Amino acid sequence: MIAVVQRVSSASVTIDGRIKGEIQNGFMVLVGITHLDTQEDIEWLGRKITGLRVFNDQEGKMNLDLNAVNGDILLISQFTLHASTKKGNRPSFIEAAKPDIAVPLYEKMIQFLEKETNKPIQCGEFGADMKVALLNDGPVTIIIDSKNRI
């Protein structure tokens, strides 16, 4: 499971002209799921995301986590994070999980993050054509891969 975590001042996702999810201060997270991902990946990645100390403290140092700043999460599924570009110019998405595997894991990630943050998680819609807007704060962008823990 791969996550691209961006610290944002605001972010939203629009589907068919309607805002589906919207946050102010917090993280906009793109998550890519593979057929090898499990509940263990969800929990490890979820704790990494919520524990990231990338928000400024009183001295302006990145030292605070999401809960310390009462931040929110906008979670967007994005299978293209598992694109392979090794051969040719057309990406292969063979490592991305099919919907029958990915949707339940995505929903479990939402539930896990809600438990960790004690807040509702804003999200997109799996498989939908989404328009994502964000104001990256910093900019701060962190990539986390649950298969690369060491």
Q: Residues 80, 85, 117, 141: which is the catalytic one? A: 80
Encode burial over 46-82: b for 16+ CB neighbours within 10 A, e otherwise.
bebbbebebbeeeeeeeebebeeeebbbbbbbbbebb
Task: Spell out the domain ranges in the chain.
Answer: 2-145
Give me the sign of the Cα torsion angle 41, 1, 120, 10: positive
Question: Would you say residue 149 has pLDDT above 90?
Answer: no
Tokens of 103: 């949707």
The percent of residues above 90 in pLDDT, for the chain, comes to 91
Predicted pLDDT of residue 150: 72
pLDDT digits (tens, 9 = 90+) for 7-61: 999 999 999 999 999 999 999 999 999 999 999 999 999 999 999 999 999 999 9
Residue 4 in contact with residue 81, Cβ under 8 Å?
yes
Q: Model's pTM, two decimal places?
A: 0.94
SS3 content of the chain, % helix, strand, coil (to 5): 25, 40, 35
Q: What CATH topology corresponds to 2-145?
A: D-tyrosyl-trna(Tyr) Deacylase; Chain: A; (3.50.80)
The pLDDT of 82-104, averaged and rounded, is: 92
Roughly how many angstroms between the first and final C-alpha of the chain, as a whole number?
Answer: 15
Q: Is 14 a catalytic residue?
A: no
